[in-house]
Amino acid sequence: MPDGERGAPEQPRAPELKEQHFTILYGDTGYTYDSLIGPYLVGAKSVTIEDPYIRAPHQVANFVRFCETVSKAPSVRSIALVTSYDDQTNLADLNDKLGELKQSLLEVDIVLEIRINEKLHDREIRLDNGWVVKLGRGLDFYQKPESWFAIGASDFSLRKCMETKVDIFRAGASLQ
């Protein structure tokens, strides 16, 4: 190369995605939706999440954080939430909160569809690029912080977790 000229900068290679199995222990930190699920969103256009426990305010807040992770993937255009409710659920309040989230997602060109399945029990995320994420506790695997003014109150990477397992695999592949 002539003096002063350089080739185009090398593009960093995307990490090769592989099946992963995590056992998150009670009190562990460092796990976020971005770090667990984010890499697998590459190329996905739609995300379906089944979690029967998107009802209480903190569960809806967790779902909002999950949607923030999904919104960072430029190819995703739709999210489908399949959830449930019980007699204690304030449906009007839940509909208001999810309606606000729906509108907010539209502003970043993502359509949120909400379906109710009263028999739903398992928790998983299916991506149309072939990846499946099984979440033992669903999105609600974070402990309540000791104080809302303590480290970890807003940054989930610093928040203590509940014990759970997370399995990430290609659709059609079996868990071992």
What pLDDT, in 10s, does the model give residues 133-160? 999 999 999 999 999 999 999 999 999 9
What is the average per-residue pLDDT within 91-105?
93
Higher model confidence: residue 91 or residue 19? 19
Bridge partners, 48 (sequence order): 80, 126
Band (90; pLDDT cuts 50, 70, 90): confident
Q: Is the pLDDT of residue 120 over 50?
A: yes
Q: Is 6 exposed, middle or buried (0-12, 13-18, 19+ CB in 10 A)?
A: exposed
Nearest to 166 by CA among 137, 142, 144, 143: 137
Which residues are bridge partners to 79 per DSSP?
Answer: 47, 112
Kindly list the structural domains of the chain, giving each domain's residue range(s) and its CATH number in brackets, ordered by start.
20-170 (3.30.870.30)
What is the strand order of the sheet 131-135 is part of? Answer: 20-24, 164-170, 131-135, 124-127, 46-50, 78-83, 111-116
Q: Which of 5-9, 112-116, 142-146 has the lowest mean pLDDT?
A: 5-9
Residue 1 structure tokens: 């190369």
The candidate with the shortest Cα–Cα distance to 14, out of 38, 37, 35, 39, is: 39
pLDDT exceeds 80 at position 103 = yes
The model carries a pTM of 0.86
* Average pLDDT score over residue span 78-95: 89
Tokens (6 digits) for 49: 């999440």
pLDDT surpassing 80 at residue 173: no
Q: How confident is residue 49, by pLDDT bands cut at 50, 70 and 90?
A: very high
